[in-house]
């Protein structure tokens, strides 16, 4: 399967709020508004009570999640993704990709068309990496985790990896303390930033903000790494 086609048009939505306890529910409605960007699979990952909780499956947001599963997830921050062009590999390739590495847990969701995914994958496999999906997001997550071992912050690790990624992309990264939005240096893929009360949001499109009453602040600038931090 061609990963560039898989990730041609997907939807991202994420948030961080110190007083939020139902992040999964908000992300659910955000992804519902972005459903036109991907109908093959849906996934939400939140941080709640010191751990990452996530749920993913093939199909529409309304088919993957019900009230019980959303209420059970909770969360004060999280990221979600709707996937397009996944075919038979929809469940396997649903994002965010959640990994555990030397610095802890990390979740990564990508909307993009990287032109060198296979080259990066082959290089990492020769260095001992083992991949479970066909997603470029998993390749990116491995690159960031390896860079993080050499950098003092996750932002520095992302900045170190960005020159290796060829093509257009928007990226959401979540750690136990941060939700980070990243946009490719040429601004090819969309990513916007908004606010409602003391909660901050990322989305692929402003339509999700409009539906949830979130105030649009600005686009994430080309090449920008924008962090929402839990203090």
Closest CA to 30 of 114, 17, 134, 230: 17
Phi, psi of 75 (to 5 degrees): 100, 140
Q: Is 10 a catalytic residue?
A: yes
Is beta strand 77-83 parallel, antiparallel or unpaired with respect to 192-196? unpaired
Whether residue 42 contacts residue 59, with contact meaning beta carbons closer than 8 Å, is answered with: yes
Q: Going by C-beta distance under 8 Å and a sequence separation of 6 or more, which residues neighbour residue 5?
A: 85
128: left (phi over 0), alpha (psi -120 to 50) or beta: left
Instruction: Given the residues 10, 43, 151, 207, select the one marked as catalytic.
Output: 10
Which sequence positions are flagged as catalytic? 10
């Amino acid at each position: 399967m061609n990963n560039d086609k898989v990730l041609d048009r997907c939807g991202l939505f994420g948030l961080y709020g110190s007083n939020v306890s139902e992040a999964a529910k908000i992300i659910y409605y955000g992804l519902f508004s972005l459903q036109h960007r991907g109908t093959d699979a849906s996934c939400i990952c939140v941080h709640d009570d010191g751990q990452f909780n996530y749920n993913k499956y093939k199909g529409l947001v309304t088919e993957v999640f019900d009230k019980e599963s959303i209420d059970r997830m909770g969360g004060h921050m999280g990221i979600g993704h709707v996937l397009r062009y996944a075919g038979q590999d929809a469940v396997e390739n649903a994002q965010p990709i959640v990994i555990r590495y030397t610095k802890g847990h990390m979740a990564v969701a990508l909307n993009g068309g990287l032109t060198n995914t296979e080259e990066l994958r082959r290089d990492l496999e020769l260095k001992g990496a083992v991949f479970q999906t066909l997603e470029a997001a998993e390749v990116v997550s491995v690159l960031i985790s390896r860079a993080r071992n050499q950098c003092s912050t996750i932002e520095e690790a992302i900045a170190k990896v960005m020159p290796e990624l060829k093509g257009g992309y928007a990226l959401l990264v979540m750690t136990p303390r941060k939700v980070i939005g990243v946009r490719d240096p040429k601004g090819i893929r969309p990513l916007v930033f908004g606010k409602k009360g003391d909660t901050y949001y990322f989305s692929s499109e402003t339509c999700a903000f409009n539906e949830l009453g979130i105030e649009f602040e600005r686009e994430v600038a080309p090449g920008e790494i924008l962090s929402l931090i839990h203090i």
